[in-house]
Amino acid sequence: MKCVVTGSNVKVLGKAVHSLSRIGDELYLEPLDDGLSLRTVNSSRSAYACFLFAPLFFQQYQPTTPGQDLLRCKILMKSFLSIFRSLAMLEKTVEKCYISLNDRSSCLVVQLHYKYGVKKTHNLSFQDCESLQAVFSPASCPHVLRAPARILGEAVLPFPLALAEVTLGIGRGRRVILRSYQEKEEADSTTKAMVTEMSIGEEDFQQLQAPEGVAITFCLKEFRGLLSFAESANLPLTIHFDAPGRPAIFTIEDSLLDGHFVLATLLELDIHSQDQSSSEPHQQARSTAHQDNFASDDIDSYMIAMETTVGSEGSRALPSVSLTPGPQHHSNPGPDSEEDEDEAEPSPVPGTPPPKKFRSLFFGSILAPPHSPQGPNPVLAEDSDGEG
Amino acid sequence: MKFRAKIVDAACLNHFTRVSNMIARLAKTCTLRISPEKLNFILCDRLASGGVSMWSELEQENFFSEFQMEGVSAENNVIYVELASENLSRALKTAQNARTLKIKLTNKNFPCLTVSVELLSVSSSSRIVTHDIPIKVIPRRLWKDLQEPSVPDADVSIYLPALKTMKSVVEKMKNISNHLVMEANLSGDLNLKIETELVCVTTHFRDLGNPPLASGDTPWDRDPAEMAEVCVDIRKLLQLLAGQQVNPTKALCSLVAGRMLHLHLLYEDVSLQYFIPARS
């Protein structure tokens, strides 16, 4: 494989590597006939990302050297990232970037041609690997949301960098709501975090195909990674999603490249505890109710029904906390943990925090032996990790 | 107990953001006291964690276009809540180009101070960010610990030099010593001094001026050249100096020899009092 990237495309490539580096520690590089693909998956296999650079992206693109099979390789993200570390410098000083992969050298060679004839060659040792391919199909997702990356970028701006997950949903009046996700146990403790909610009107979206009340929760860090790429490339971002627990697919497309991020979404296991009105869509709907009267709210609707007379401090104790029977369900995960989520979860006890559950995405082809019955099944497998 | 307030003016919003940033730099958690005329940010550190206290005050009508509140009762028309000051400052950060900002006391899943911001956007659509800052409502029996601290009779009061200058001096002294001795007299001299086994460094400021006595006060009964001194934790002093983004219109320092340092900073529409106990 041999390819040449020139001019500002070097920065685009670098930017893509930066956003991939937010996900995985290893980079899978695979030259295909329809372009060069860069892929990664995170260690818990709950996030997968893939960029495909079309042959037109390159000044020269040769997926195979004559008389050779298609090669693919796996390299350390860290070492590949270090080549593209400073994007500002790349843009200013690099004129060309050669990437070549061949059998003989057993190295992935990345050569940067700087101004004034300076050349920098990186030889990265690699491992052979199977093709990394997550099984997903955007077409099977019933809900679609599409907006310019800038809009979504501004939408996640108010959230703190340390925030792990965010809930995306459609609220009343078809407003798109982003809300910081709080674990239930966290919400019960005394050190609560600030909850931030962003509400954006439908008009800002190019496509909004989802009914009111749907909501998914996913990792913000990975999403920010793709967003920063899409923002710099000034591309619209499409989010395909389904019910909670099913993966959400984030895509960007251009004539020269496309990017797919597949992120696991949080499976809310508290259907039985809906009487607590704490399931995510409910929360969404409730908080939007507050929002709707932003212009005309009445002071009487915002009242703290809390007495602060002398000695009232005891009344602040949450009664539901005392009912919590402790970690009884988690004490013996046992060897049968593969299926026990169905038995353990529907606990009738209110106030028991449901464990956080991201479903792993399953990658058949890289792990399974060749005779594995794993076909091109569009269904993602159940989480096999148990709850550890 | 009810509270709702609104800011529509960009300049007021800016001021309020600046105040909250300043508070966030001085105190991790603070108490917000809401009364019909004033907002106070209060810090009352326990002695174990340094014993610093802070009392900052702003007139609500200088900031808010609407301000409604109802305290615990008619005779106690006040609300005291405790919050993480960083949360407020972070919430206001997103309000930088806001059309309207609203602050209100709400009880969603827990009691909170809700800051909602209507953002200006290029398109016609409205964007709303809501921050629910968790708060603790402070019961009435604890209010007595959160009153405006009284200042004991000072030995010497003196105007401070530009805080930026002071900050750069104190910053360097911090590398050498943990404690700083502040000395001042009634003829406008102020010394910042550190002493270690190896070195003694003193920075002298002259002609700073002493505030005139209010009529009725007992006149200073001391030699104008005699220094009063207070030894304080250098980090606490630096915290105050580093937290000031704008130079105050007036900065006054009162020394109560051997007991405490009282710093009083006056801005256009905010006043900040900061008390650092003397090191024993």
Per-residue pLDDT reduced to its tens digit, A284-300: 444 443 444 454 444 44
Instruction: Please tell me the distance from the alpha carbon of residue A183 to that of residue A181, in angstroms, as a whole number.
Output: 7
Contact across the interface for B84 and A194, Cβ inside 8 Å: yes
Q: Cβ contacts (< 8 Å) between B132 and chain A: which residues?
A: 194-197
Could you say which of A192, A199, A311 has the minimum Cβ distance to residue B127?
A: A199
Neighbouring C-beta atoms of residue A113, cutoff 10 Å? 18
pLDDT in tens, A177-205: 999 988 765 555 456 788 999 999 888 89
Could you say which of B116, B123, B137 has the minimum Cβ distance to residue A294?
A: B116
* Residue A116 touches partner B, C-beta closer than 8 Å: no
pLDDT of residue A125: 86
Token readout for B20 is 């909250």
In chain A, what is the straight-line distance between the N-terminal and C-terminal CA atoms, in Å? Answer: 42
Q: Cβ contacts (< 8 Å) between B126 and chain A: which residues?
A: 201
B28/B135 same-domain check: yes
Give me the number of domains chain B comprises.
2
Is A2-128 a domain of CATH 3.70.10.10?
Answer: yes
User: What average pLDDT does range A17-43 have in this prediction?
Assistant: 91
Contact across the interface for A204 and B138, Cβ inside 8 Å: no
% of chain A at pLDDT higher than 90 = 37
Q: Please, which residues bridge with residue B136 across strands?
A: B82
Q: Cβ contacts (< 8 Å) between A200 and chain B: which residues?
A: 125, 127
Q: Please, which residues bridge with residue B7 across strands?
A: B101
B162/B141 same-domain check: no
Which amino acid makes up residue A120?
A: K
Instruction: Choose the weakest-confidence range: A241-255, A352-366, B177-191.
Output: A352-366
Confirm whether B150 is domain-assigned. Answer: no
pLDDT in tens, B256-271: 988 889 999 998 889 9
Burial class (CB in 10 A: 0-12, 13-18, 19+), B237: buried
Q: Cβ contacts (< 8 Å) between B1 and chain A: which residues?
A: 303-304, 306, 308
Residue A59 pLDDT > 70, yes or no? yes
pLDDT in tens, A203-231: 889 999 999 999 999 999 999 999 999 99
B173/B100 same-domain check: no
pLDDT of residue A204: 87
Q: Cβ contacts (< 8 Å) between A310 and chain B: which residues?
A: 139-141
CB distance A260 to A137 below 8 Å? no
* Residue A162 touches partner B, C-beta closer than 8 Å: no
Residue B25 pLDDT > 80, yes or no? yes
Q: Cβ contacts (< 8 Å) between B87 and chain A: which residues?
A: 194
Instruction: Please tell me the distance from the alpha carbon of residue A95 to that of residue A311, in angstroms, as a whole number.
Output: 73
User: What average pLDDT does range A353-365 have in this prediction?
Assistant: 48
Helix, coil or strand: residue A113: strand
B203/B240 same-domain check: yes
Domain boundary among B145, B178, B199: B145
Domain housing B169: 156-277
Taking the CA atoms of A174, A176, A182 and A187 in sequence, report the sign of the dihedral they define. negative
User: What average pLDDT does range A318-337 have in this prediction?
Assistant: 37
pLDDT of residue B262: 93
Choose from A161, A195, A270 for mutation: most chain B CBs within 10 A: A195
B122/B9 same-domain check: yes
CB contact burial B243-257 (16+ within 10 A = b; e otherwise):
bbeeebeebbbbbbe
| Residues whose CB is less than 8 angstroms from the CB of residue A282 and which lie 6 or more positions away in sequence, other chains included | A274
* Residue A158 touches partner B, C-beta closer than 8 Å: yes
Q: How, if at all, do strands B260-266 and A73-76 pair? A: unpaired
Residue B88 pLDDT > 90, yes or no? yes
Residue B235 pLDDT > 60, yes or no? yes
User: What average pLDDT does range B171-200 have in this prediction?
Assistant: 93
Confirm whether B123 is domain-assigned. Answer: yes
Domain boundary among B87, B114, B145: B145
Is A138-185+194-266 a domain of CATH 3.40.1280.10?
Answer: no
pLDDT in tens, B121-130: 666 667 899 9
B126/B226 same-domain check: no
Contact across the interface for A203 and B125, Cβ inside 8 Å: yes
Give the residue from A98, A81, A89, A120 showing the smallest Cα distance to A6.
A98
Instruction: Please tell me the distance from the alpha carbon of residue A383 to that of residue B20, in angstroms, as a whole number.
Output: 45
CB distance A186 to A192 below 8 Å? yes
Instruction: Please tell me the distance from the alpha carbon of residue B177 to that of residue A226, in angstroms, as a whole number.
Output: 48
Could you say which of B130, B134, B138 has the minimum Cβ distance to residue A192?
A: B134
Residue A318 pLDDT > 50, yes or no? no
Residue A364 pLDDT > 90, yes or no? no
Choose from A195, A308, A321 for mutation: most chain B CBs within 10 A: A308
Domain boundary among B145, B169, B200: B145
Residue A307 pLDDT > 70, yes or no? no
Cα-based distances in Å from A1 to A29, A50, A109, B25:
11, 19, 10, 55
Instruction: Choose the weakest-confidence range: A35-44, A96-105, A253-262.
Output: A96-105
Confirm whether B151 is domain-assigned. Answer: no
Taking the CA atoms of A271, A273, A274 and A279 in sequence, report the sign of the dihedral they define. negative
B6/B98 same-domain check: yes
pLDDT of residue A185: 58
Mean pLDDT, rounded, of chain A: 74
Of the pLDDT bands very low, low, confident and very high (cuts 50, 70, 90), residue A98 is very high
Choose from B92, B132, B136, B141 for mutation: most chain A CBs within 10 A: B132
A&B contacts, CB < 8 Å: 120
Which amino acid makes up residue A250?
A: F
Cα B264 from chain centre: 9
* Residue A202 touches partner B, C-beta closer than 8 Å: yes
* Residue A119 touches partner B, C-beta closer than 8 Å: no
Whichever domain contains B270, its CATH number is 3.70.10.10
Give the residue from B90, B88, B213, B91 showing the smallest Cα distance to B156.
B213
pLDDT of residue B153: 82
Instruction: Please tell me the distance from the alpha carbon of residue B126 to that of residue B31, in angstroms, as a whole number.
Output: 33
B132/B160 same-domain check: no
Cα A304 from chain centre: 37
Taking the CA atoms of A129, A135, A139 and A143 in sequence, report the sign of the dihedral they define. negative
B10-26 vs B85-93: helix crossing angle, rounded to 10 = 150
pLDDT in tens, A107-134: 889 999 998 999 999 998 888 777 787 7
CB distance B149 to B53 below 8 Å? yes
Residue A317 pLDDT > 50, yes or no? no
Q: Cβ contacts (< 8 Å) between A302 and chain B: which residues?
A: 2-4, 104-106, 114
Of the pLDDT bands very low, low, confident and very high (cuts 50, 70, 90), residue B145 is confident
3-class SS string, chain B? CEEEEEECCHHHHHHHHHHHHHHHHHCCEEEEEECCCEEEEEEECCHHHCCCEEEEEEEHHHCCCEEEEECCCCCCCCEEEEEEHHHHHHHHHCCCCEEEEEEEEEECCCEEEEEEEEECCCCCCCEEEEEEEECEECCHHHHHHHCCCCCCCCCEEEECCCHHHHHHHHHHHHCCCCEEEEEECCCCCEEEEEECCCCEEEEEECCCCCCCCCCCCCCCCCCCCCCEEEEEEHHHHHHHHHCCCCCCCEEEEEEECCCEEEEEEECCCEEEEEEEECCC
Helix, coil or strand: residue A379: coil
Whether the model pTM is above 0.80 = no
User: What average pLDDT does range A252-260 have in this prediction?
Assistant: 92
Instruction: Choose the weakest-confidence range: A5-14, A61-70, A222-231, A347-356.
Output: A347-356
Choose from B128, B136, B137, B145 for mutation: most chain A CBs within 10 A: B128
Of the pLDDT bands very low, low, confident and very high (cuts 50, 70, 90), residue B234 is very high
pLDDT of residue B251: 92
Helix, coil or strand: residue A279: coil
Query: Domain map of chain A by residue range?
Result: 2-128, 138-185+194-266
The ipTM estimated for the assembled molecules is 0.81
pLDDT of residue B1: 86
% of chain B at pLDDT higher than 90 = 55
Q: Which residues of B touch A (CB under 8 A)?
A: 1-4, 68, 72, 80, 84, 87, 90-91, 94, 102, 104-112, 114, 116, 118, 121, 123-134, 136-141
Confirm whether B191 is domain-assigned. Answer: yes
Could you say which of B107, B118, B132 has the minimum Cβ distance to residue A304?
A: B107
Token readout for A307 is 């007495």
Contact across the interface for B116 and A158, Cβ inside 8 Å: no
Which amino acid makes up residue B11?
A: A
Of the pLDDT bands very low, low, confident and very high (cuts 50, 70, 90), residue B193 is very high
Contact across the interface for B94 and A194, Cβ inside 8 Å: no
Residue A39 pLDDT > 70, yes or no? yes
pLDDT in tens, A332-356: 434 443 444 333 333 444 444 444 5
CB distance B183 to B190 below 8 Å? yes
Residue B111 pLDDT > 60, yes or no? yes
Residue B85 pLDDT > 50, yes or no? yes
Contact across the interface for A158 and B133, Cβ inside 8 Å: no
CB distance A274 to A282 below 8 Å? yes
Cα-based distances in Å from A101 to A6, A65, A66:
18, 9, 13
Q: Please, which residues bridge with residue B191 across strands?
A: B183, B204
Confirm whether B16 is domain-assigned. Answer: yes
